[in-house]
Structure formats: C-alpha cells, structure tokens
Amino acid sequence: MSVNTANTPDGRGVLIYNGEMILLYTKEVVLHFANEPDQVFKGKKVGSLYLTSHRVIFVNHNNEALRSFSMPFHCMRAVKLEQPVFGANYLKGVTLAQPGGNWSGEVTWKLSFNKGGCIDFGQALLKAADMAQRFRPYDAPPAYAPPAGAFYCAPPAYYIPPGGNYNGFQAPTNVFPDQPPAGNVFMYEAPPPYTGIGPDRPPMPAGSLSGTATAPPAPEQTAPPSYEQATVLPQKA
C-alpha cells in the first residue's frame, strides 16, 4: 500500500497504470483509520473510491496531507464486511505498507458508503482479490517504485468495461452506474507492477497515448485536454 502515489499533484485526478482497468467507481465514501502509524492517517477522510483490476484507490476530496490511498490486492489482509444491528454497514481490513510507499508498517482501515452499496462493493472487492490471488499467488508486497516516464489522459477503454465484465469478473455496475468525471483519469506509460485479475491487458504503446507527456498539472494550472481533444503524440524513436 502506498500514500499519495495514485493522484495528480492538484489532487483532482486519479492515476492508474497502463493496462489497469477501472471496474467500479463511487463517491461520498468515508475513510477512517483505527490505528494511526503516521500523522497522515489522522481524521475522517471523504472522497471517491475506485475498484480496479489490480487494487482499491481512495482519492480524498479535501486538500489534506493524505490525497490518495492505494491498496493493491496483495497488500490487503482480513478484509471483512460488517453489518451492525445499529448503524451503517461498512468494510474494514488491514493493509501492509509497500517499501517506498511514503509510510511503513500496517494500518487498519474502515470504509463506509454515504450513497449506499457497501455490501455490493465489499463482495466485488473480495471476489476480485480472490481472483487475483488464484491467478498468480503472491507473498510479500513488492516495493513501490515511482513509474518511469510520463503520464497521459486515459483512453475511454480504460474506464468501466461494457456490461461490467472483465476477465470473468462481473462488476455490479447496476449498483454503481456512475463513471469517473471526464478528464479526471490519467495513466502512466508503465504497466502494473503487481498481480491483477487474470492476464493484464497489453499496455498501449506510448506513441498512441494522448494528453500531457512531461509533467503532471500543477495546482494553479488547468487539467490536460480530454482524450477526444488531445492530439496524438509522435512515436518514440
């Protein structure tokens, strides 16, 4: 697990890998940490939640020290769906830090869903993690390394797949019909460094990607052009 590695510097965009698919998206999700191994984990966080083919990503809506929270499936332990008699349903679990992921140790987290859908998201997460484990067993989390190269506006094909089906995984898109806002999803040139659901989709050649190719947008700048507006970059030599 890593902190502040899955967001653009302005905090508005989510960053995925080349070959990683967004399967579910929802907003108004509340994130709490039961233990706080670092100051960055203090307090309630409210933001958007992404289930991808390789991990769960939380992007904070507020300008706080924790801007994003990335949990690859292989870093998660003891994930449970809690249904208390009094109070809202919630997910909880333990996540191990990736070496180099801006913190160390492990942290216990809790996710609640203001817009509903906790049970469906939890079941989808458990299914996805199980499929990733069966596809390629994993042990200790690999070290986090910042991806080399640029990042780009993600093509529409990297959003929720038609019908919600990806490598045999059926996402409950009937419960989560929303898609990430246009222009908020960005993609590294690099492929995912860890296991996902089934075979990874082939990475797109960098020359066929569009959008900004050198640096993330700074807070005072506007976001890069959308996929449709962007021009195709020349092929690399």
Alpha helices in 82-117 (DSSP H): none
Q: Nearest 5°: phi and psi at 4? A: 60, 40
Does 186 reside within a domain? yes
- 222 within a domain of the structure (yes/no): no
Nearest-angstrom CA–CA distance, 112 and 123: 14
Residue 114 placed within a domain? yes
The residue assigned the tokens 């529409």 is 156
Give the β-pairing of 45-52 and 76-82: unpaired
Q: CA-to-CA distance for 196 and 128, rounded, in angstroms?
A: 8
Query: Does some domain include residue 215?
Result: no
pTM of the model: 0.81
| Structural domain includes residue 27 | yes
pLDDT at 128: 92
Mean pLDDT, contiguous 10-residue spans, the chain (237 residues) = 86 90 95 85 95 96 93 92 91 87 86 96 94 68 59 76 82 91 86 80 58 40 37 37
Residue at 235 is within a domain: no
CATH number at residue 40: 2.30.29.30
Confidence (pLDDT) at 211: 56
Tell me how many domains the chain contains: 1
Ordered strands of the 151-153 beta sheet: 14-16, 185-188, 151-153
Does residue 163 sit within a domain?
yes
108 found inside a domain:
yes
DSSP for residue 135: H
Q: CA end-to-end span of the chain, whole Å?
A: 35
Strand 14-16 vs strand 151-153: parallel, antiparallel, or unpaired? unpaired
CA distance 81 to 193: 28
Q: Read off the DSSP letter of residue 174.
A: T
For position 158, what pLDDT does the model report?
75
Domain that includes residue 57, residue range: 2-167+180-208
